[in-house]
């Protein structure tokens, strides 16, 4: 029988989705499952942007240009300018989700066997995209004890080798919710300029910063025009995860020209979703005010409930809509599976993402979980009731 590729065998499973069969089985048994495992908000997608698609009268659903519709890219220029990011429409390639933007960056800037430094824990698909590209991830550990702050500059210096080509960050961070400060971003700037590295900055959660803190883009860092690549998506910003529209943004012309070849190879990004994204740029400012207030309430409730549970540690996230928690169990993967297979409280259980899958270092994160506070307050309270009861009942 023919064998699968070595690359395919090395691809890591998603820590976010691998427990889905157990959740499906629980639902078939009649157990309600509170999904805190995945960043799928329950906030409604704005009606006006859905209507923009519904009111489109196309006679032929054609390919869009490989870099995306010019009208949408010009709208994105307006959006970025409002966020203190000055770019031209020619410095933007519209992508099929933020995932394709990440893949374009890795494929355009790194060769087989090159290395990319990433503070861990990190978004699990960075591992998957690196594996599929033949790139080696070099993790720099951050810890729950200091809220997952950026590791020291010495840690980065020790990790740099002759094969290092890039540093990848997510700001605000998925899975930790950590928001990098200006001082931390300048540390990364210093390292990139000293060692001539690219800085890939995944800014999918730009709008979700709390407690008066501000987001700073990698493209706003002085002297980084040839080094910084912004990776973006509309998925979380407008609760439009199924739209699959992202953006690859850089002022480095040679990187843009290279990424364009990959963009041409995949032909074009989705047409209808670009229409949706273009309409979203014109949403009134109070849309984000309301969404921001809602996520702040959800964060505060989730973290306060977690901290009240004996043996649980949970830093207060500064951004995004995720929290990492350390639980008083030896193996959260076994615990999370047990929650779905054997446990229920008032006819319900909770699904979380075991954190080991967000680490590249073997053995790290085994007693941690990621929780996405994407459900309404009542559901978060009910989910925390389930978790609190489960921790008392679990014998693992």
**What are the tens digits of pLDDT across the range 376-392?**
999 999 999 999 999 99
> Which ranges of the chain does DSSP label H, i.e. alpha helix?
6-10, 20-28, 47-54, 70-82, 97-109, 125-133, 153-159, 182-195, 253-265, 271-280, 286-307, 332-341, 377-393
Q: What is the average per-residue pLDDT within 220-242?
A: 97
Residue 218: which of 75, 87, 358, 95 has the closest Cα?
87
Which pLDDT belongs to residue 40?
92
Check whether 15 has a pLDDT greater than 80.
no
Q: How do residues 244-299 score in pLDDT, each as one tens digit?
A: 999 999 999 999 999 999 999 999 999 999 999 999 999 998 999 999 999 999 99
Q: Name 179's Cβ contacts closer than 8 Å, sequence gap at least 6.
A: 171, 172, 173, 209, 210, 213, 215, 317, 318, 319, 320
pLDDT at residue 220, as a whole number: 97
Q: Give the mean pLDDT of 100-129.
A: 97
Q: Tell me, what's the pLDDT at 294? A: 97
Quickly count: other Cβ atoms within 10 Å of residue 160's Cβ.
16
- Whether the per-residue pLDDT at 107 is higher than 90: the answer is yes
Span 46-91, pLDDT tens digits = 999 999 999 999 999 999 999 999 999 999 999 999 999 999 999 9
Strands 353-354 and 368-372: antiparallel
- Give pLDDT, residue 345: 98
Spell out the residues 6+ positions from residue 279 whose beta carbon is closer than 8 angstroms to its own. 48, 49, 51, 52
Measure the CA angle with vertex 204, ends 206 and 55; round to 5°.
100
Listing DSSP states for 142-179 in one string gives: --GGGTTPPPPHHHHHHH--TTEEEEEEESS-TTT---
The confidence score (pLDDT) of residue 396 equals 67
CA angle 243, 261, 163 (to 5 degrees): 100
> Tokens 């739209």 appear where?
243
pLDDT tens-digit readout, 298-334: 999 999 999 999 999 999 999 999 999 999 999 999 9
Collapsing DSSP to helix, strand or coil, 375 comes out as coil
The predicted structure's pLDDT at residue 216: 98
pLDDT at residue 193 is higher than 80:
yes
pLDDT above 70: residue 210: yes
Region of 10 (left: φ > 0; alpha: ψ -120 to 50; beta: rest) is alpha
**Rounded distance, CA 223 to CA 246, Å?**
25
Separation in Å, CA 117 to CA 165, 176, 268, 392: 8, 17, 30, 39
Q: Determine how many CB atoms are found less than 10 A away from the CB of residue 153.
A: 14
DSSP 27: H
Measured distance CA(130)–CA(166) in Å, rounded:
12
Beta bridge partner(s), residue 313: 326
Q: In which band, very low, low, confident or very high, does the pLDDT at 12 lie, cut at 50, 70 and 90? A: confident
Contact 173, 203 (CB under 8 A): no
Say how far apart CA 27 and CA 360 lie, in whole Å.
32
pLDDT more than 70, % of the chain: 100
Supply the mean pLDDT for the chain.
96
Please answer whether residues 341 and 332 qualify as being in contact, where contact means their C-beta atoms are separated by less than 8 angstroms.
Answer: no
| Banded pLDDT at 138 (limits 50, 70, 90) | very high
- Over residues 334-344, the mean pLDDT reads 97
Q: Could you tell me the pLDDT band of residue 17, with boundaries at 50, 70 and 90?
A: confident
The tokens describing 178, both together, are 């950590």
3-state secondary structure of 273: helix
Q: Distance between CA 213 and CA 185 in Å, rounded?
A: 14
All domains of the chain, ordered by start, with CATH?
6-44+286-393 (3.90.1150.10), 48-280 (3.40.640.10)
Structure tokens belonging to residue 231: 């990776």
Structure confidence by residue, pLDDT tens digits, 24-34? 999 999 999 99
Would you state the pLDDT for residue 82? 96
CA dihedral 17, 106, 264, 83 (to 10 degrees): 80
CA distance 126 to 228: 17
Would you state the pLDDT for residue 136?
97
Read off the pLDDT of each residue in 4-31 and give the average, rounded to a whole number: 90
């Amino acid at each position: 029988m023919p064998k699968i590729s070595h690359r395919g065998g090395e691809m890591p499973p998603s820590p976010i989705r691998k427990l889905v069969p157990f959740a499906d089985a629980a639902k078939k048994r009649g157990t309600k499952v509170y999904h805190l495992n995945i960043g799928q908000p329950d906030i409604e997608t704005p009606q006006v942007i859905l209507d923009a698609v519904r009111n489109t009268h196309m006679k032929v659903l054609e390919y869009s240009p490989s870099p995306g519709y010019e009208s949408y890219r010009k709208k994105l220029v307006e959006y970025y300018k409002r966020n203190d990011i000055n770019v031209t429409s020619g410095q933007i390639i519209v992508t099929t989700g933020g995932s394709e933007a990440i893949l374009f960056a890795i494929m355009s800037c790194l060769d087989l066997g090159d290395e990319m430094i990433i503070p861990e824990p990190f978004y699990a698909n960075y591992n998957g995209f690196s594996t599929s590209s033949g790139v080696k991830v070099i993790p720099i550990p951050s810890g729950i004890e200091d809220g997952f702050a950026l590791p020291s500059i010495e840690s980065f210096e020790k990790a740099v080798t002759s094969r290092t080509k890039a540093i990848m960050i997510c700001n605000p961070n998925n899975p930790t919710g950590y928001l990098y400060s200006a001082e931390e971003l300048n540390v990364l700037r210093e390292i990139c300029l000293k060692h001539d590295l690219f800085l890939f900055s995944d800014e999918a959660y730009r709008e979700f910063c709390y407690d008066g803190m501000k987001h700073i883009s990698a493209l706003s860092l002085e002297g980084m025009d040839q080094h910084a690549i912004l990776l973006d998506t509309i998925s979380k910003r407008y609760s439009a995860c199924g739209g699959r529209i992202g953006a690859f943004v850089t002022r480095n012309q040679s990187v843009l020209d290279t990424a364009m070849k990959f963009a041409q190879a995949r032909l074009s990004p989705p047409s209808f979703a670009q229409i949706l994204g273009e309409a979203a740029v014109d949403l009134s400012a109070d849309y984000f005010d309301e969404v921001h207030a809602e996520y702040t309430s959800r964060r505060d409730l989730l973290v306060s409930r977690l901290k009240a549970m004996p043996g649980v540690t949970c830093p207060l996230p500064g951004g995004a809509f995720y929290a990492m928690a350390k639980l008083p169990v030896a193996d959260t993967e076994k615990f999370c599976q047990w929650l779905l297979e054997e446990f229920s409280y008032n006819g319900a259980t909770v699904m979380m993402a075991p954190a080991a899958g967000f680490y590249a270092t073997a053995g790290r994160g085994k007693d941690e979980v990621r929780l996405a506070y994407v459900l309404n307050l009542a559901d978060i309270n009910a989910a925390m009731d389930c978790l609190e009861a489960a921790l008392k009942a679990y014998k693992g």
